[in-house]
Amino acid sequence: MAICREVTTQAADTAMSLNDMLKPSTHCQVPLDRWVEFFVKDWLVPNFRPAFRAAQWPVDQVMRGLEGFLHAVPFYAMTIFFVAVAWRFAGRGVAIFTLVSFLAIEAVGVYPDTMTTLSMIITAVLFCAIVGIPLGILSASSDRFEAILRPILDVMQTIPSFVYLVPIVMLFGVGMIPGVVATIIFALPPIIRLTSLGIRQVREELVEAGYAFGSTRRQVLWEIQLPLALRMIMAGLNQTLMMALSMVVVAALIGAGGLGLTVYTGLGRLDVGAAFLGGFGIVLLAIILDRITQGIGAGAEQRRANWTFTGFVKRITGFARA
Amino acid sequence: MQKLTVKNLYKIFGAAPEEALVMARNGAGKDEIYRKTNSVVAVNDISFTVNRGEIFVVMGLSGSGKSTLVRCLNRLIDPTSGEIYLDGDDKAGSVTAADGENLRQIRLRRISMVFQHFALLPHRTVAENAAYGLKARGMSAKERRDRAVHSLSKVGLDAWADAYPGNLSGGMQQRVGLARALAVDPEVLLMDEPFSALDPLIRREVQDQLLKLQDEIKTTIIFITHDLQEALKLGDQIAIMKDGKFVQVGTAEGIVSQPSDDYVRAFTSDVDRSRVLTPRRMMQPALPAAEMAGLGKVRADSYLCDVFGDLSTGRKLAVVDDDGSYLGVLDPLSVFAHLQATENSTGIGGRA
């Protein structure tokens, strides 16, 4: 394959402006688009499609199981469960909000779609945690690993999700599971970053104390670093959750169902009402999940540590060291 | 009886420690080595021995390498060169030669540590913190709690066993740190500026408590500080550290009365000897109990300046500990003679 496309020779005949002369494309056009196409279509897909298909198997299992379960639970039981969880972790206000939201979602007729979306979100966040927390731990313990990982995460966070929808369809096909896979890729960075940050900001002296008393690396990780990074990890999980929710509509483009599909079809038919219903469900679900996970994060801190407020602020700001 | 022996210890931070090590061995200074090799010599040819039951204080300003030195002793930082031994100098007791598992055993059972900012786990109770070293050993929950509470009672905090560190004052937190270190019943206790983060009043209180505790447990302590008063108060031996080297090693009296160079003299010049020296340091061996009973009493760990009233009578005094048992005899004449001599030797104009 030629590296450059043929450059039109006419340009050389006519008097060339300095501007044109200095443009790389006058002399050599780089066909990056064709290279990428070649890489994905002729190398990645034929060689690795079975591997990617196999990799989506666990996602598939969890997703189907969860979706079946959430749809099987009666509406009132699900509502009671969420209200109870909200009350326990986030207080009475959030509990009342949760109750009203669930009733509203059911009343406008998007409850089944909401459950489908919820199962997608939970699956995506679960796999993000399974993959992301170990990667965050590794990245905290090795500067070299972090140096490699950081640009990859930067790309994952900045690249528009539409860009990788095409290769995902080629590798995974269309449907619910490819949608979840796209969501996992999009929502993974925060949990990795914040796990790493949380572990790195544990005071050096505490880690030293662990080793000084004969702890192994594993003991230091489990008894000192992870508990003290817990709040930060929970914040990462919350961020991951929010990003997963924002992918719901995009995932519908490649065949995922749920509230995203309602918005997408509404968009296609210029059906303002349907699109609004989807958005209504997504927003309410987002607020409920955000408040509950934030509550769990803060609660975990209080129950485990019973810290004074100032002590907590000091630790977060790293001030205790000074 | 030698408990800890350190021989020719070096620690060099930087990309090329070998080159810097050669230069340091040939007597090049810290600045010169840094200019030429871009490596920092934190610990430069340190050798010392500490006897069982002694408090060995390393006093130095920030950047002198004292924190690096103490971390080399339990190999939180691996020394670049040199030897560290427990109990004499045979290979079996070598800390520097210990591999992963042996080093872990040394840390679990023989050397423990107290940290400047306490380093307590905020999500564990006081008792769980005190039991930390025992848990790493794999001791059962009940046994380690019993031992942790016993250790806490030594520092007077057994009533706080189920509180969290965040609810304790700084002085109390450091006593928990001390209880944690003592719970493993260590042969050597490393203390890295343990009282520096405390208020002056509290600091004095915990210093007294440490001395009292030391009378009981008689462990071997390596104590790091930047505070000369603290060094003089606590140390059986005191090493003054500067730029990675010991510039003088000696007793409190030796340091204040015969500073080895201008650096040490500058430190000690404004030290009031009567506030440094205690009856315990100045006393002579006790007389038979019958004779002691007739004498006036002074506390062993009060300062001379606090007992000038008693001394001014000119009569000998019995030195007692807090329980009232006799430790020795204090002779006012020798005390005043000593104070006068040291004052002259280090006063304005320097020594003759």
**B241: which strand partners?**
B60, B246
**Which residues neighbour A321 within 8 Å (Cβ) at sequence distance 6 or greater?**
A203, A205, B117
Query: Which pLDDT score is estimated for A320?
Result: 39
Confidence band for A302, pLDDT divided at 50, 70 and 90: low
Least confident of A76-85, A162-171, B103-112, B180-189: A162-171
In this prediction, residues B57-76 reach a mean pLDDT of 91
Confidence band for A133, pLDDT divided at 50, 70 and 90: very high
Say whether B277-346 and B2-110+186-271 share the same fold. Answer: no
Report whether pLDDT(B351) > 50. Answer: no
Q: Is A258 helix (H, G, I), strand (E, B) or coil?
A: coil
Q: How far from the centroid of its chain's Cα atoms is residue A256's Cα?
A: 16
Contact B334, B328 (CB under 8 A): no
CA-to-CA dists, residue A222 to A98, A227, A240, B49, B158, angstroms: 34, 7, 23, 37, 27
Report whether pLDDT(B348) > 60. Answer: no
> Which amino acid is present at A95?
A
Spatial separation of the C-alpha atoms in residues A276 and A287, rounded to whole Å: 16
Report whether pLDDT(A91) > 60. Answer: yes
Instruction: Tell me the per-residue pLDDT of A250-265, one tens digit each, with 9 for 90 and over.
Output: 999 898 888 999 999 9
Instruction: Tell me the per-residue pLDDT of A23-40, one tens digit each, with 9 for 90 and over.
Output: 888 888 888 989 988 888
Query: Which pLDDT score is estimated for A257?
Result: 86
- Taking one residue from A and the other from B, the number of pairs with CB-CB distance under 8 angstroms is 75
Please state whether beta strands B111-114 and B2-13 pair in parallel, antiparallel, or not at all (unpaired): unpaired
**Cβ contact (<8 Å) for B117 and A208?**
no
Residues composing chain A: 322
Confidence band for B223, pLDDT divided at 50, 70 and 90: very high
> Which amino acid is present at B276?
V
Q: Is A88 helix (H, G, I), strand (E, B) or coil?
A: helix
Which residues of chain B does A315 touch, with a Cβ-Cβ cutoff of 8 Å?
122
Report whether pLDDT(B228) > 60. Answer: yes
**Cβ contact (<8 Å) for A213 and B104?**
no
Report whether pLDDT(A129) > 80. Answer: yes
pLDDT-above-70 percentage for chain A: 89
Residues composing chain B: 352
**B12: which strand partners?**
B41
Which CATH number is correct for B2-110+186-271, 3.40.50.300, 3.60.70.12, 3.30.499.10, 3.20.19.10?
3.40.50.300
Output the CA angle A269-A272-A277, nearest 5 degrees.
Answer: 110
Residue B141 near chain A (CB below 8 Å): no
Instruction: Tell me the per-residue pLDDT of A204-244, one tens digit each, with 9 for 90 and over.
Output: 999 999 999 989 999 999 999 999 998 899 999 999 999 99
Spatial separation of the C-alpha atoms in residues B185 and B308, rounded to whole Å: 39
pLDDT: which is higher, B257 or A283:
A283
Query: Which pLDDT score is estimated for A312?
Result: 45
Confidence band for A122, pLDDT divided at 50, 70 and 90: very high
Give chain A's radius of gyration (CA, Å).
25
Confidence band for A1, pLDDT divided at 50, 70 and 90: very low
Picking from B109, B121, B166, the nearest residue to A224 by CB comes out as B121
Report whether pLDDT(A2) > 70. Answer: no
Which residues of chain A does B138 touch, with a Cβ-Cβ cutoff of 8 Å?
none
What is the residue-averaged pLDDT of chain B? 86
Contact B24, B10 (CB under 8 A): yes
Report whether pLDDT(B4) > 60. Answer: yes
CA pseudo-torsion sign A161, A163, A165, A168: negative
Query: Which pLDDT score is estimated for A56?
Result: 87
Report whether pLDDT(A130) > 90. Answer: yes
**Cβ contact (<8 Å) for B122 and A320?**
no
Residue B197 near chain A (CB below 8 Å): no
**B328: which strand partners?**
B285, B319
Task: Spell out which chain A residues touch chain B, with contact meaning CB-CB distance below 8 angstroms.
Answer: 203, 205-206, 208-216, 219, 223-224, 227-228, 304-308, 311, 315, 320-321
Least confident of A131-135, A195-199, B116-120: B116-120
Closest CA to A228 of A200, A256, A252, A208: A200
What is the residue-averaged pLDDT of chain A? 86
> What domains are defined for chain A?
56-306 (1.10.3720.10)
Confidence band for B345, pLDDT divided at 50, 70 and 90: low
**Cβ contact (<8 Å) for A213 and B107?**
yes
**Cβ contact (<8 Å) for A213 and B74?**
no
Residue of chain B with shortest Cα separation from A228 = B123
Closest CA to A93 of A236, A309, A292, A235: A292
Report whether pLDDT(A248) > 70. Answer: yes
Burial class (CB in 10 A: 0-12, 13-18, 19+), A67: buried
Confidence band for A147, pLDDT divided at 50, 70 and 90: very high
Scanning the structure block, which residue is given the tokens 């730029």?
A: B243
Spatial separation of the C-alpha atoms in residues B17 and B51, rounded to whole Å: 31
**Which residues neighbour A222 within 8 Å (Cβ) at sequence distance 6 or greater?**
none
Provide the H-helix boundaries in A159-271. 161-172, 176-200, 204-212, 217-220, 226-246, 248-253, 259-268
Spatial separation of the C-alpha atoms in residues A173 and A51, rounded to whole Å: 13
pLDDT-above-90 percentage for chain B: 30
In chain B, where are the structural domains located?
2-110+186-271, 277-346
Spatial separation of the C-alpha atoms in residues B65 and B43, rounded to whole Å: 6
Confidence band for A319, pLDDT divided at 50, 70 and 90: very low
Instruction: Identify from A204, A206, A213 which residue to disrupt to test chain B contact, counting B C-beta atoms within 10 A and taking the largest count.
Output: A213
CA-to-CA dists, residue B192 to A156, B38, B318, angstroms: 44, 27, 35
Report whether pLDDT(A299) > 80. Answer: no
Say how many C-beta atoms besides its own lie within 10 A of residue B266's C-beta: 10
pLDDT: which is higher, B249 or A301:
B249
Report whether pLDDT(B13) > 70. Answer: yes
Q: Give A313 to chain B, closest Cα distance, Å.
A: 12
In this prediction, residues A130-140 reach a mean pLDDT of 95
Confidence band for B313, pLDDT divided at 50, 70 and 90: confident
Spatial separation of the C-alpha atoms in residues A170 and A279, rounded to whole Å: 29
Query: Which pLDDT score is estimated for B350?
Result: 38
Element (H, E) at A93: helix A92-107
Say how many C-beta atoms besides its own lie within 10 A of residue B88's C-beta: 12
Picking from B104, B119, B136, the nearest residue to A206 by CB comes out as B119
Helices A75-90 & A272-305, crossing angle to 10 degrees? 40
Which residues of chain B does A311 touch, with a Cβ-Cβ cutoff of 8 Å?
122, 166
Query: Which pLDDT score is estimated for A311?
Result: 44
Contact B127, B135 (CB under 8 A): no
Spatial separation of the C-alpha atoms in residues A27 and A18, rounded to whole Å: 13
Q: Is A178 left (phi over 0), alpha (psi -120 to 50) or beta?
A: alpha
Instruction: Tell me the per-residue pLDDT of A161-173, one tens digit each, with 9 for 90 and over.
Output: 888 888 888 888 8
Picking from A214, A224, A305, the nearest residue to B166 by CB comes out as A305
Q: Which long-range contacts (CB under 8 A, 24 or more apart) does B245-252 make?
A: B245/B44, B245/B45, B245/B46, B246/B46, B246/B48, B249/B48, B251/B281, B252/B276, B252/B277, B252/B281
Provide the H-helix boundaries in chain B. 17-25, 30-37, 66-73, 100-109, 126-130, 132-137, 141-154, 170-183, 200-217, 228-234, 252-257, 262-268, 273-276, 279-282, 289-293, 308-311, 332-346
**Which residues neighbour B352 within 8 Å (Cβ) at sequence distance 6 or greater?**
B345
CATH of domain B277-346: 3.10.580.10
**Which residues neighbour B323 within 8 Å (Cβ) at sequence distance 6 or greater?**
none
Two tokens, residue B114? 């107290």
Query: Which pLDDT score is estimated for B259?
Result: 83
Picking from B113, B116, B123, the nearest residue to A212 by CB comes out as B113
